[in-house]
Amino acid sequence: MKKYTWYLVGIAIILIIFIVLSNTNLFQDKAISSDGLQTNITYMDGSTELVRDITIEGNLIKKKNVSFPTLLEEENTIVFKQDVPSDVELVITDSHGKEIFAKKIGTSEEYSFSATTEKGTIVVKMESGDHHYFFSINERN
């Protein structure tokens, strides 16, 4: 009888340990977790690939970079609006991959930079956390 009781106690302890551990992140597959990041873009007039406006919203579990092709001009203006403070860096490169603008952004602001007229790339480097912002390059009223 004592042997049977210890056997049941052992099974109960193992069952309790399993229940406690299953409620932690130990058994959850992090690869399945979704970032939940949504991007909406507006293309430049007459283009199907060059981006003018970008809205990014969502929550990231880990760092992520997204890039968009755009058309650079001699004098460029980026308008950045942020609803939720988050760590984001904006990098603009020319068609040769040379960095021509880089800025860690913390507030809604307007930025200007010079470049040659050519295709370029906007790279948005985001840390983990909430992201809710909009930016536009060379928007015409």
| Predicted confidence (pLDDT) per residue in 23-49, tens digit | 665 555 544 445 678 889 898 888 888
- If you average pLDDT over residues 2-28, what whole number do you get? 74
Q: How far apart are the first and last CA of the chain?
A: 87
The residue with greater pLDDT, 129 or 73, is: 73
Q: Which amino acid is at 38?
A: Q
Confidence band for 112, pLDDT divided at 50, 70 and 90: very high
- Is there a contact between 42 and 100 (Cβ–Cβ < 8 Å)? no
Protein fold of 38-137: Jelly Rolls (2.60.120)
Q: Determine the pLDDT at residue 1.
A: 62
The DSSP result for 27-76, as a single string, is: GS-TTT-----EEEEEEPTT-SS-EEEEEEEEEESS-EEEEEEEEE-SEE
Confidence band for 100, pLDDT divided at 50, 70 and 90: very high
CB atoms within 10 A of CB 97: 8
- Is there a contact between 120 and 52 (Cβ–Cβ < 8 Å)? no
Q: Determine the pLDDT at residue 131.
A: 87
Q: Determine the pLDDT at residue 26.
A: 53
pTM of this structure: 0.70
Q: Residue 125 contacts by C-beta under 8 Å, 6 or more apart in sequence? A: 63, 65, 88, 89, 90, 91
* Tokens read off for 133: 């912002």
Sketch the domain layout of the chain as residue ranges: 38-137
Question: Is pLDDT at 8 greater than 90 in this prediction?
Answer: no
